[in-house]
Amino acid sequence: MSTPKDTINRLLTLVQLIPHQPKRISTTSLYEKLSARGHHIDARTLQRDLERLSHAFPVLCDDTEKPYQWSLNANLKLQDLDTPAALALYMAAPQVRSLLPQSVIDEIDPLFSAAKQHLNHLQHNKLANWADRVRTIPNGKTLVPAAINPDIWQQVTEALLSQQQLQVSYLSRTKGEKKQLQLNPIALVARTTITYLIATVGDYSDPRHFALHRIDSAQRLETPAQQPPDFNLDNYIANGAFALRQHPETVELIADIHPQQAWLLNETPLSPQQQLTALPDSDWFRLTATVPLEQETLWWIFGLNNRIRVYAPQVWVEQIREAVADMQNFYQQTSDARCRRGLL
């Protein structure tokens, strides 16, 4: 299902594809170029996108011949941006910068700047201060995003865009040493603080992911990248590529939970298959939910500390017991050592 971010990315790509006068591009060519860049839409959606752009930008349509020809007014000025379009561009800029190829960012940066200036010059329009009144914040502690070398970003995104191989020097986290690898780029996945390149290595066919900030050097090659047959990014993610799945099937989580946490889960469920039942003679609740057997859900449970008591699945019960015992032993040893050193 298409998301608002998908639509914004697609519209920004369209702006980059439409040339300034006197050059033109046909609807058919726009459709093909969008598909080549991963935007698979039907002809009607493309028509709606072009209509949206024509309201926000000086997009010109020559309908005297078919397919229609499109171009941008060569004299694009700040005043050509209307306020809703300027607001949308300004608020989308931080998100799309981490998702678009550098060549596209270079093309649309003037639009982002124009949008910011447009909003700065407004006084009485009710949308003028909207960006100052809206924020998104993560749920939980968020680490500072890993820094990505701009040159690395450019080489990786251009290789992905052109479907060409990459020669990289990659720092292996497990071995603590740099490796020289020839990668076949497949996709990019951003996880708040770390962006990963999904790729195969050499002639191997199994996709792996590589943190971009651990790439020390990257060079786009002329060799076409080999693409795994029937690879689907959504399926790859859903099958636990980033969630450390312990088992491909789902399990039933059964636990007693603190009333405050039960209130939160009633508003934002752990899964669509969730039930909360009040326990007799207690203000606690019995939680039953169908969840994936994965490390992330287990980490969520650990984060609740003594606000949850897990009964199933049994594998998690055992892991929690072992972790609590290890932690108790660790802190006891630390306390004993500090006592011997006269620190307690």
How would you classify residue 250: left for phi > 0, otherwise alpha for psi between -120 and 50, otherwise beta?
Answer: beta
Which H or E run contains 260?
helix 259-267
Residue pLDDT, tens place only, 233-244: 888 887 777 766
> Which domains are present in the chain?
4-132 (no CATH), 150-238 (2.30.30), 245-331 (3.30.70)
Kindly give, in sequence order, each residue whose CB lies less than 8 Å from that of residue 275, ignoring residues fewer than 6 positions away: 286, 287, 288, 289
Give the SS3 label for residue 54: helix
Model confidence at 4: pLDDT above 70 = no
| CA 234 – CA 145 distance, rounded (Å) | 23
Q: Residue 255: is its pLDDT beyond 90? A: yes
How many Cβ atoms sit within 10 Å of the Cβ of residue 106? 12
| Tens digit of each residue's pLDDT (9 = 90 or more) over 193-211 | 889 999 999 988 899 999 9
Query: Which residue shows structure tokens 């009710």?
Result: 126
- pLDDT surpasses 70 at 80: no
